[in-house]
Structure 1
């Protein structure tokens, strides 16, 4: 596939400090905090970020051992992202002296990656990736979901039949509802997949086209961001990644590979000796079995995890430095962790994790429950909406009660047979996907008469 862009993306534009929602040309200044540190603080105190506290990472929360939620995972990814960004920033400032003249520091570049990494899971629904599949399957396969297809355009239907947490995250970050008004640089670094869901051809060789990063009704928002930062296109429908998005992706890859393994070991799904043997190839000569003597398994596990993450950060920054110019030209489009020296060791960890962790009974039971809960909630609310606007002779007292459970700001007026219901369905998916695991489960029980309020 031929590339459409005419030149190399410029770091001076890629790190411009403008904010989404501010008039173009606004040049904000902060005396005590950089604009990118402001992003981080706004995210930390936002409702969508706090909701990650009760969203599953991999395991249901046990009573006797600590395992990660989406919140703790996101904080750790952000910490790794800050280290990656700061180290990469030092390289960029040395290579491009004009960045220093514009006031950019390595700490600011670290802050961009940290803020974007903090939000990387913010659009994930309850029950993790099973939740994404459950929402997609509802519209693809369930009669109460499929009935909407004839009322929508093909690109809108593609959005609903392939729910994507990354696109949901972008929608939330630019939404006036949450008022985050992040910088364009943070939004772009967040966007690993800078394309819509419905494109004629997907280039499977380009990592950035593996999934999609925004819904069709956010296209103008993405175009605005791309124009401000000077993001180029790789095809008529797809943009190039902001180079810092490669670091955000690497931070996530590093954390879930190493820390999911640590959680699996903590819960007894992977033996301690096997875990050590999986981490040793990453540590290389830093691995000294003698230093493990006289310490508990959890202490050794924590030390090995820290050393492994440090090594992977170092390797990822070196690869970023090697290919940074190719990223800006659009010639490089791979995951950093796929080509670092420890790539084979990470692949082995992934294989063991799939076999012993992600397919463990406790995880599969959680996923099965997630499919049931989300399909059930979507079915109940979707049917009530369809009956009210498209089949009023079937609109029942039950439907009326169900619709009263929707949020007060839910758009319940102005729809009908002649009105495209995409925005209404987007609002329904916003509501369901924004729930915590516990809230979704409790609401599912109540609307299906399994439990009663207060019970």
Structure 2
């Protein structure tokens, strides 16, 4: 069984320093600060959430979505922390506020590794490597090929948070083990996944040693050669994400006039147990009505999810919870969220304008990967700089000569390329592909 003493470890990856205190700015609070001040997080403001970046500033980007998820997660972490403290289950020196800070930081970073153009970007990367000439994958091991052909933004996020390129020292941002373990939604590799059909994993082969270090430091139960059970706080981060994107996708759809407000209202009203005030019925402003409904629903969800977590504490510590926390929550919320997701997938995600943008995303990333991966193969096969073509030399300068040394393993070069592409905003990726492709996109 896992225990909270190790699960809430304040030690940092890359250093054993820790300074948790009951008052003031703990290392867990510093984790949040390090993430929010990072350039990778800042670039989320120009990355697609669900709807392509619109002219309407009320619609969510990856950045606003991440901030909202972190707020919901923080509230759940605080509520769970207080209930565990009342039961005497929190370790000495750990306060409910510390648990809230851990979950808040992990939730803030949950989309930080996503490439441009939302999930379409992930699919485009996977498809390029699946369709690539065999020479591009021949030097790689089976496990390395799996990392690329099932490319995952979650694994890219773990790499970003822990890679030296994100800081001066080993350990990248040097976040606490507790925050990193709470961030890793899928604590296994591509070939170690217990659910290979879902193509979800949390670490590339290059970072498996780091994932193992995080798992050992927090006491995660090993379930396979390259897999571990989830950290209990992952369930809070996941629930916060599910709540936000299920509701906000439809709210954004109303904002963009893709969905009638009655859809949002009819979905949420039956889940509100309180009497609806007369002011609501007299209100004519749809945005104010959506704000009221969203607030009521999130309040109810926070209570239900907190109760579900505390009730299943022992199962969570044994790594024995199947499914997500929402499916364990009492009340009508699980069905409501499931209905919202289904509606979004059928009526919003397949919106014609969004489909057009995603088709363009494939063309854009194909252009970038064609150019960069061709150069990577040349760099891998070369013995010195003089053997490189002029074009490949320019690609190295663009991405970073130090990051693409001549003769480097091809797998490492591909990961460097994916670091560069995943760090792009939608605008920059489109502009660079247009420049590289001679203005064809």
Shared fold, TM over 0.5: yes
User: How far apart are the structure 2 equivalents of 1:227 and 1:286?
Assistant: 49
1:369 corresponds to which of 360, 367, 379: 360
For residue 62 of structure 1, report the CA deviation from its aligned partner: 2.3
Asked whether the equivalents of residues 70 and 107 of structure 2 are also in contact (C-alpha less than 8 Å), the reply is yes
For residue 65 of structure 1, report the CA deviation from its aligned partner: 4.7
User: How far apart are the structure 1 equivalents of 2:163 and 2:89?
Assistant: 36
User: How far apart are the structure 2 equivalents of 1:109 and 1:433?
Assistant: 30
Secondary structure at 2:146's aligned position in 1?
A: helix
Secondary structure at 1:234's aligned position in 2?
A: strand
Please give the root-mean-square deviation of Cα atoms over the aligned residues, in Å: 2.3
1:442 corresponds to which of 395, 420, 431: 431
Alignment of 1:281 onto 2:270? yes
User: How far apart are the structure 2 equivalents of 1:402 and 1:167?
Assistant: 25
User: How far apart are the structure 2 equivalents of 1:399 and 1:235?
Assistant: 41
Alignment of 1:33 onto 2:25? yes
After TM superposition, the runs of 4+ consecutive aligned structure 1 residues lying more than 6 A away are 391-395
Taking the TM superposition and a 5 Å limit, the aligned residue runs for 1:131-210 are 131-143=121-133, 146-179=134-167, 180-199=173-192, 202-203=194-195
Taking the TM superposition and a 5 Å limit, the aligned residue runs for 1:77-156 are 77-97=69-89, 99=91, 102-143=92-133, 146-156=134-144
The gaps in structure 2 that reach 5 residues or longer are 168-172
Secondary structure at 2:223's aligned position in 1?
A: strand
For residue 288 of structure 1, report the CA deviation from its aligned partner: 5.1
Alignment length (residue pairs)? 431
Taking the TM superposition and a 5 Å limit, the aligned residue runs for 1:246-265 are 246-265=235-254
The gaps in structure 1 that reach 5 residues or longer are 1-7
2:65 aligns to what? Answer: 73
The normalised TM-score by structure 1 is 0.89
Asked whether the equivalents of residues 194 and 214 of structure 1 are also in contact (C-alpha less than 8 Å), the reply is yes
**What CA deviation, in whole Å up to 9, does each residue of 1:359-409 have, x standing for no partner?**
101211121111111111000111123245448999654444444322343
Gap change, CA 1:439 and 1:273, over 3 Å in 2: same
1:404 corresponds to which of 397, 420, 426: 397
Secondary structure at 2:399's aligned position in 1?
A: coil
Gap change, CA 1:357 and 1:203, over 3 Å in 2: closer
User: How far apart are the structure 1 equivalents of 2:80 and 2:275?
Assistant: 23
1:51 corresponds to which of 43, 53, 66: 43
**What CA deviation, in whole Å up to 9, does each residue of 1:420-441 have, x standing for no partner?**
3111111111111111111101
Query: Which of 126-135 and 173-182 deviates more?
Result: 173-182
For residue 177 of structure 1, report the CA deviation from its aligned partner: 1.6
Taking the TM superposition and a 5 Å limit, the aligned residue runs for 1:180-329 are 180-199=173-192, 202-203=194-195, 211-287=200-276, 291-329=280-318
Secondary structure at 2:398's aligned position in 1?
A: coil
